[in-house]
Amino acid sequence: MNIIKKKYYLIPLIICLLGLTALTFVFFLGSFSKSDETEYVFIDDDDDLDSVCVKLKPIGSEQTISAFRILSKYWRYTDHIRSGRYAITPDESTTTVFRHLKNGHQSPVRLTIPESRTMERLAGALSRKLMLDSMTLVTSLQDSAFCAHLGYDTATIACLFVPDTYEIYWNTPLDLLMERLRKEHDHFWNGQRVAKATSLGLTENEVCTLASIIDEETANNGEKPMIAGMYLNRLKKGMPLQADPTVKFALKDFALRRIYHDMLNYNSPYNTYKNTGLPPGPIKIASVAGIDAVLNRVEHDYLYMCAKEDFSGTHNFASNYQDHLKNAARYAQALNDRGIK
């Protein structure tokens, strides 16, 4: 009889234990996220437990946020909150999410280096993808000591950047970001590319500078080696490049659709109508296509080019000034016909 009574009293206890186990599973081991898609949370250096939970609130439920707080207090998460970008998938438990944040198991961002015309634009693009402040980036890229540490000056620092997409952590500090991009630069400038630049009598920076001008002349990658050949011919003869994009860069007016004669006299080392040789540095971050166009230029005897009057984005080339004037006249007339000023 006593054995039966003991078994009877054990039943509620077992039920409570099972309920507690189920509650613990749901509370700590159930799915943290309310979403059916992967969500991301960004933890900053100055975040505390409350602000972390505020950032998690749109992703988790009140129940899972409470469980996260309990785990945080028990495992002393507040002693060392790690900044970063963390992915939270639909199937991850609260315990898993907590462990990732506590241990700093980030999800990298895909950082694309754009073909920016200025360091201000580059800084803005990078700051939108990284924890870095855009003003900090601009100030650094315009600082001669910072650039010199990387092997450049403020005019050539754009040569460091190779437009591509890289995986990098959101909270990567500036010095490590530059170190990573320097490694990517060195990987891009392999022995074959360096040898081609040397055969042209150009440095890597000079190749990037010429490539940046060619990029601004046309978006047609197929024509870029032709333009490269023309500019290299002019450099070899000691002729000024007379590249309109360098005038736009000197004037800092990239919206110009037409270059007038008085603009050609603007006093700037970037004005290739007034100065022979290459400008001090790139007028944008050169594209890979532009760089390879210089390294694989088409050999010909052209010395002049003018945009085609059909506005196709390609050019008419000429080996003498008389033919060039005819090409230029046709293009000027086309601009006038369209009312482009």
Q: Mean pLDDT per segment of 10 residues, for the chain of length 341 residues?
A: 51 51 57 93 96 96 91 91 96 94 96 95 95 95 96 97 97 96 96 97 98 95 96 97 94 84 90 96 97 97 91 89 90 84 68
Q: Identify the pLDDT of residue 20.
A: 47
Q: Which of 245-259 are b and which e, b meaning 16 or more Cβ less than 10 Å from the residue's Cβ?
A: bbbbbbeeeeeeeee
Q: Identify the pLDDT of residue 19.
A: 46
Apex CA 286: angle with CA 224 and CA 144, to 5°? 150
Apex CA 22: angle with CA 21 and CA 23, to 5°? 90
* Predicted TM-score (pTM) of this structure: 0.86
Q: Which helix (H) or strand (E) holds 315?
A: strand 315-318
- Torsion sign across C-alpha atoms 261, 265, 269, 275: positive
Rounded to whole angstroms, the Cα distance separating 341 from 339 reads 6
Q: Identify the pLDDT of residue 10.
A: 52
- Bridge partners (DSSP) of residue 110 are 167
Contact between 104 and 84 (Cβ < 8 Å): yes
Q: Identify the pLDDT of residue 23.
A: 52
Q: Identify the pLDDT of residue 336.
A: 85
Q: Identify the pLDDT of residue 340.
A: 79
Q: Identify the pLDDT of residue 150.
A: 96
Contact between 111 and 130 (Cβ < 8 Å): yes
Q: Identify the pLDDT of residue 307.
A: 87
